[in-house]
Chains A and B, each alone.
Chain A
Amino acid sequence: MLAQAIRRLIFAVPTLLAIVAAAFVLMHAAPGGPFTKERQMPPEIERRLVEKYGLDLPVEQQLLNYLGDLARGDLGPSMTYKDKDVLDIIAEGAPTSAILGLSAMALALLVGGALGVMAALRQNRAQDYAVMALAIAGVCLPPLVVGPIMQLFFGVQWGLLPSQGLHRDEFGLVYLLLPVVTLALPLIAIVSRLMRASMIEALRSNAIRTARAKGLPEAQVVLRHALPIALLPIVSYAGPALAGVMAGSFVIETVFQLPGVGKQFVLAAQQRDYTLVMGVVLMYSFLIIMLNLAADLLYRVLDPRSRTA
């Protein structure tokens, strides 16, 4: 298992390199640049800025320079923020995005998982239809719609919960309640559907028939035997999905005015902040690779069959 993990990590390096190169070239191919603004700066200043960030070099050369800096652990200065480094900005945003993503995923796994199991056990009955209707609604209603509605009712109309931000520059956990729920709703929908399908399949498997034939109580059949099998697709979904939500949800962070990485990423892309975009892309790809690896390792724990491979 350890050998496999190491092998995967080694393979991750060329993958990351390819992602960096592709993102770098795409980013630079977009029209405009970090220094085109409404008001023009004096030509001398523009020339020096372009020179300072090496934007006058051919793209291949810029890429090589960037990779060189990267090898030294340097993500460079932001091109739009004049006094901040990329690493500073990511470090400022990462805690919020991570807490938001982890909480939403945990909530989704708990609630979505439970709903999915319930639907599977009551297949084609009222409870099943109710859960599936909810799941469809959850997938169809984007956070862009749900977020402001939640804000309007819980925050503005009823005044029950804070609707924006994190309590100024402190870190109020209650402030994360609405955004976590908003972010979790579509995840709950997906998890419950996946869970239902895989649970139904698991309950029909030979192993479960055997377990039932042994006369095990139903609860034990479901929880001890069916659930681990049924969890497999969830695990392979949750790994990359977790990377997605942890790297920051642009919509949630914008609607709820939270200081996360996702908002920075979109803003940086709009403003052509090449270095900041690259930094976030790098972080995101790294998370995806690591969490995919974690999912695969977890797979081996849950599914005895994959261990022999």
Chain B
Amino acid sequence: MAFWTSRRSLLAGAGGLTASASLAGCANGRIVGFDKARRSLDIANSSEPLSLDPHKASGSWENNILGNMFIGLTTEDGQARPVPGMAERWEVSDDGLTWTFSLRRATWSDGEACDAHDFEYAFRRILNPENLAEYASILYVIKNAQAVNAGELPPERVGVRAIDDLTLEIQVEHPAPYLPQILKHYTAYPVPKHVVEEHGDDWVHPDNIVVNGPFKLLRWWSNYIVHLDRNPSFFDNENVVLEHLYFYPANDVNAAARKVMSREAGWSTRFPSNQVAQLRTALPGFVRVAPYLTVNYFSFNLTRPPFNDVRVRQALAMAYDREFVASQIYKTGERPAYAFVAPGIADYPGTARYRWADTPVEERKREAERLLRAAGFGPNNPLRFAFSHRNTSDNPRVAVVAQNDWRSIAPWVIVELQGVETQVHYANLRAKNFEVGDGGWIADYNDAKTYLYLMETRTGPQNYPGYSNAEYDRLMHESDFVVDAAERAAMMLQAEQLMLDEAPICTSVVINSLNLVHPDLTGFEDNLEDIHRARWFGIKA
């Protein structure tokens, strides 16, 4: 860090202090969170972005902001389905390995052309390990991407090539019909080559940044506000209605709801599930509950006894009463999960289930006891283990239910609960330093693979249970090379069923997305990915 930057920021801080006095006069009116006259929307976003560089972001709350600033080759419609973005159309070669995208003529917000070269530059940049992009693995389907990201090949070898200004060719490692799903993800956004080359990593500073999306960054006040204004040079600017967007990091979910109740925010990306009844009364028309591609599940640590025994795992997975958790702990219609892949995911039948899913839970508990006895446990050899869970939101209450269900199998099942700070919890899971641990998975893209790859041997530390099955790995690997969507899905389905039969995980519930949205804000459509771009928003008169 150069000294001048720090001095500059100190001066800016001091300047802010002086400016505050002069601004005070005009800034004392109350905020209207959804101001129809100003066409502005204040948004209680779930957390603070840690970067506004699409190559360095890694959270859905960052996505909420970034997706309004940048447009990838494809982009989301109101339903979060991939639709043409910067690419007007594309063709796939017969072997499914080469995709050719025809780009629209468009510019960055500084008037420079945003073309295929910016995309080529962006893919090379994010996959170059020197740039420390944490989320580049989403793009590993692109040819050579993983090798480049591991530092084994130079960035120029990434399978993305600008054929001319408006034609981009992407080669993939194996047929990937879900590529348009991935290309709408923020890791696949273009970056302005000319600005990044001039400013380096400082290009995202509000003074330097240029965007190709509907809104541009005006100010980012750490852990307080991100202010975006409409970008008049956006290619579809004529159809954008809103002028200003303000994102607040509402880490406290109750404060987020209060912000909407006091009408200081027009949209909150979440609300406390246990207050849904009161919110429905206090804010008629605001509450939006929708299925979401997120599954909570518990991992058994297969690398140590007793969880290397499938009977123990099945017994515990069986005895856990998902229906109770889904209906009594969560209050917003969450569904019990009897499979790992979230229901509703694209091009996937989703019919794999635990084979005992339809058996009543009391009967399952008796079967669980039989299994545990068969595994050698009993009054003289009690099954004793610790269940570690995250200490956040509803997780501790879910853990108590799980503990109770497992203890009710037999008096000799002894479960100790360990609430752990989230960050530490994931470090423990990764290091296999746990016995049974909870977790959740939000789909990165709308395809079953985003879940199923987690249980592959090659996934390594993030395969929390340490599950390894040659047949599973083979099915997953071979499904990558199947061009026919139905055939591919059938293979993944077979893998999922195989995995569920061995129960390395105990699935818990399918989470819903919870939003509070001003009823006069049009264009906000409930969708599986919980992605809502302000580009589609309008105002009901």
Contacts and interface: CB of A to CB of B under 8 A. Distances in A.
A257 B44 CA distance: 11
B478 interface: no
Interface in B15-68: 16-17, 19-20, 23-24, 26-31, 42, 48, 50-53, 56, 58
Contacts of A218: none
Contact of A99 (B10, B20, B27, B137): B20
B293 interface: no
A174 B28 CA distance: 6
Interface in A250-275: 254-255, 257-259, 263-264, 267, 270-272
Contact of B246 (A75, A99, A168): A168
Contacts of B27: 166-167, 170-173, 175
Contacts of A151: 258, 262
Contact of A167 (B28, B51, B218): B28
Nearest to B13: A91
Given A74-B6, A148-B258, A83 B53 contact: yes
Interface residues of B, number: 76
B170 to A, nearest CB: 20
Given A74-B1, A171-B16, A42 B149 contact: yes
A244 interface: no
A73 to B, nearest CB: 7
A36 interface: yes
B9 A173 contact: no
A37 B255 contact: no
A267 B223 contact: yes
B362 interface: no
Interface in A69-124: 72-77, 80-85, 87-95, 98-99
Contacts of B424: 31-32, 36
A163 B264 contact: yes
Contacts of B218: 169
A155 interface: yes
A32 B427 contact: yes
Contact of B264 (A85, A89, A162): A162
Given A45-B129, A254-B251, A85 B221 contact: no
Contacts of B264: 162-165
B272 to A, nearest CB: 13
**A interface residue count range (under 10 / 10 to 19 / 20 to 34 / 35 or more):** 35 or more
B252 A155 contact: no
A133 interface: no
Given A165-B225, A169-B219, A41 B31 contact: no
Contacts of A271: 423
Interface in B114-155: 129-130, 132-137, 149-151
A36 B427 contact: yes
B376 interface: no
A182 to B, nearest CB: 14
B13 A92 contact: yes
A156 interface: yes
Contact of B30 (A45, A83, A89, A162): A162
B19 A83 contact: no
Interface in B245-268: 246, 248, 250-252, 254-255, 258-259, 261-262, 264
Contacts of B14: 95
Contacts of B261: 156
Contacts of B223: 93, 259, 263-264, 267
A81 B424 CA distance: 19
B367 to A, nearest CB: 33
A206 interface: no
A76 B133 CA distance: 20
Contacts of B461: 40
A81 B224 contact: no
A87 B9 contact: yes
B430 A82 contact: no
B222 interface: yes
Given A165-B248, A257-B248, A42 B150 contact: yes
B132 A49 contact: yes
Given A95-B16, A168-B246, A257-B224, A88 B9 contact: yes
Contacts of A258: 224
B148 to A, nearest CB: 10
B42 A48 contact: no
Contact of A82 (B19, B50, B129, B205): B50
Contacts of A84: 222
A255 B251 CA distance: 10
Interface string A20-56: 0000000000011101111111111100110010000
Interface in A122-170: 148, 151-152, 155-156, 159, 162-170
Contacts of B227: 168-169
30 contacts: A37-B426, A39-B135, A39-B462, A41-B135, A45-B133, A45-B134, A49-B132, A49-B134, A75-B6, A83-B53, A85-B1, A88-B9, A90-B13, A92-B222, A94-B13, A156-B261, A156-B262, A162-B30, A168-B31, A169-B219, A169-B221, A171-B27, A173-B28, A254-B251, A254-B255, A255-B252, A257-B248, A257-B250, A259-B224, A272-B423
Given A82-B51, A95-B16, 8 more contacts: A39-B135, A90-B13, A95-B17, A167-B27, A171-B27, A172-B23, A174-B28, A257-B224
The 6 nearest A-B residue pairs measured at CB: A259-B224, A91-B13, A171-B20, A172-B27, A82-B51, A170-B27
